[in-house]
Amino acid sequence: MSSSTPAPDLGPRAGAAPLSLCAREPHVPADRLVAEMVPPPRFDSVRFDTYVPDPGRPSQSEAVRVLEEFAGGLGGAHAVGGAKRGLFGFGRSRAPKAPAGPRGVYLDGGYGVGKTHLLASLWHATPADPSLKAFGTFVELTNLVGALGFQQTVRTLSGHRLLCIDEFELDDPGDTVLVSTLLGKLVEAGVALAATSNTLPGKLGEGRFAAVDFLREIQGLSAHFRTLRIDGEDYRHRGLPEAPAPCSDEAVTRAAHATEGASLDDFTHLLEHLAKVHPSRYGALTDGLRAVCLTDVRPVPDQSTALRLVVLADRLYDREVPVLASGLPFDRLFSEEMLNGGYRKKYFRAISRLTALARDGQRLTAPA
């Protein structure tokens, strides 16, 4: 959340009835969507020198080197006398021309190799006022277009030095055309791009829709980026114990009542409620939460529900909200069919992040 956004109400004191996500129907004004395009709380303090490369994975150290150089190249004035300047300060006339070669960097790698850490570090390292830098997930970017309209989004972001897009995914043809056009406009305006994804830019959309029918748009997106492959294992599980076993319903309920700012919801009811809230509001849905307590976790019944849960897991992880649950462990949320399908990388990321939050949630059951 940006510093200009008022601190949310943290809810009742410990011992009072816990909060409920199912009772929340947040409204998020468009100006808040713009103001919150900064690295989330988990990544407020990350920097390149706090990233710990795996010595056995040289691609990680190489990514840091390239990104530090990239950030240093963004130090020139973005506009002089009303004329926009390019990535490394090259001037342009009034009529912008499409620059030659990639205008951004694209971090490709498996979940848990530190791509978001590096992307946020790039944002922090770029020598520009925070108001001239934007950071958001792919979902948040498309939601911004929905809230502001396409032309206003172009106008809003065209004055920026850098746009960072985390979790870049193309889940449907409409998003493909929309984002391809938007990024093309921003590149013409001199905005540098950086993105992370689990999928190479030329492979975006595969397994989810007829990507071959939108090959021109996908290739156009790919042309904006220099791809950096980052290899490695999921740092969230590197040297850590197995995911904690779920608690009993009674233990979860007791912890929710004893924890200030905790929510308590039945898992199935929460999934039903998520269908009534636009994913752009899931961040606001979690405002002020100190913990999320869930009872009777069960397998997710269908793909639409699963994708909504992925977005919620991302927002909880961004905000470092611990999760305590009863029922099934999180690695059994998604069916084998889902884990072998086109969205498998999203589901594995959600499992990884929820497992990390479940470890954090263990402290809620510790004796005071």
Q: What is the structure's pLDDT at 172? A: 58
> Which of 217, 232, 247 marks a domain boundary?
232
Cβ–Cβ under 8 Å, residues 90 and 74: no
Residue 242 in any domain: the answer is yes
pLDDT at 128 over 80: yes
DSSP string covering 239-290: TPPPPPPPB-HHHHHHHHHHSTTEEEEEHHHHHHHHTTS-GGGHHHHTTT-S
In this structure, the number of other CB atoms found within 10 A of the CB of residue 248 comes to 12
- What share of the chain in percent tops pLDDT 90? 50
- For 178-234, the pLDDT digits (tens) are 888 898 899 999 999 998 876 544 454 444 434 344 345 556 667 778 888 888 876
Q: How far apart, in whole angstroms, are the C-alpha atoms of residue 41 and residue 1? A: 7
If asked whether residues 190 and 285 sit together in one domain, one would say: no
Q: Residue 355's Cα: distance from chain center in Å?
A: 17
Average pLDDT along the chain: 81
> Which of 188, 204, 232 marks a domain boundary?
232
Residue 46 in any domain: the answer is no
If asked whether residues 226 and 116 sit together in one domain, one would say: yes
Torsions phi, psi of 351, nearest 5? -60, -45
* E strand or H helix that includes residue 358: helix 344-361
pLDDT at 312 over 60: yes
Residue 9 in any domain: the answer is no
If asked whether residues 187 and 252 sit together in one domain, one would say: no
If asked whether residues 187 and 271 sit together in one domain, one would say: no
If asked whether residues 226 and 249 sit together in one domain, one would say: no
If asked whether residues 160 and 278 sit together in one domain, one would say: no
Q: How many CA atoms lie within 13 A of 320 on its CB side?
A: 7
Q: What is the structure's pLDDT at 109? A: 81
Q: How many CA atoms lie within 13 A of 121 on its CB side?
A: 21
Q: How far apart, in whole angstroms, are the C-alpha atoms of residue 190 and residue 139? A: 23
Q: How many domains does the chain have?
A: 2
Looking at mean pLDDT, say which of 16-20, 80-84, 116-120, 337-341 comes out highest: 116-120
Residue 15 in any domain: the answer is no
Q: How far apart, in whole angstroms, are the C-alpha atoms of residue 168 and residue 155? A: 22
Q: Domain holding 167: CATH number?
A: 3.40.50.300
CA proximity to 71, closest of 131, 134, 109, 119: 119
Q: What is the structure's pLDDT at 201? A: 47
Q: What is the mean pLDDT of residues 147-151?
A: 91
Residue 8 in any domain: the answer is no
Q: What is the structure's pLDDT at 320? A: 94
- For 30-63, the pLDDT digits (tens) are 888 888 899 988 899 999 999 999 899 999 999 9
- For 272-288, the pLDDT digits (tens) are 999 999 888 899 999 99
More confident residue, 89 or 2: 2
* E strand or H helix that includes residue 184: helix 173-188
Cβ–Cβ under 8 Å, residues 20 and 264: yes
More confident residue, 110 or 308: 308
If asked whether residues 162 and 247 sit together in one domain, one would say: no
Q: Position of tokens 């889902």?
A: 338
Q: What is the structure's pLDDT at 135? A: 96
Q: How far apart, in whole angstroms, are the C-alpha atoms of residue 165 and residue 363? A: 33
- What share of the chain in percent tops pLDDT 70? 77
Cβ–Cβ under 8 Å, residues 76 and 198: no
More confident residue, 292 or 95: 292
Q: What is the mean pLDDT of residues 328-357?
A: 90
Give the pLDDT band of residue 362 (cuts 50, 70, 90). very high
If asked whether residues 167 and 270 sit together in one domain, one would say: no
Q: How far apart, in whole angstroms, are the C-alpha atoms of residue 335 and residue 60? A: 32
Q: Provide the sign of the torsion angle of the four alpha carbons 146, 164, 217, 159, taken in this order.
A: positive
CA proximity to 218, closest of 249, 183, 268: 183
Q: How far apart, in whole angstroms, are the C-alpha atoms of residue 261 and residue 258? A: 9
Helices H, strands E: what count in the chain? 13, 10
Give the pLDDT band of residue 102 (cuts 50, 70, 90). low
Residue 272 in any domain: the answer is yes
pLDDT at 171 over 80: no
If asked whether residues 289 and 263 sit together in one domain, one would say: yes
Residue 132 in any domain: the answer is yes
Give the pLDDT band of residue 363 (cuts 50, 70, 90). very high
* E strand or H helix that includes residue 65: helix 58-72
Q: What is the mean pLDDT of residues 120-124?
A: 97
Residue 14 in any domain: the answer is no
Domain region containing 177? 55-232
If asked whether residues 97 and 210 sit together in one domain, one would say: yes
Cβ–Cβ under 8 Å, residues 70 and 105: yes
pLDDT at 13 over 90: no
Of the listed ranges 14-18, 46-50, 113-117, 189-193, the least confidently predicted one is 14-18
**How far apart are the two ends of the chain, measured CA to CA in Å?**
30
If asked whether residues 156 and 90 sit together in one domain, one would say: yes
> Which of 200, 232, 264 marks a domain boundary?
232
Please tell me what DSSP assigns to residue 41: G
More confident residue, 54 or 266: 266
Q: How far apart, in whole angstroms, are the C-alpha atoms of residue 138 and residue 131? A: 19
If asked whether residues 103 and 211 sit together in one domain, one would say: yes
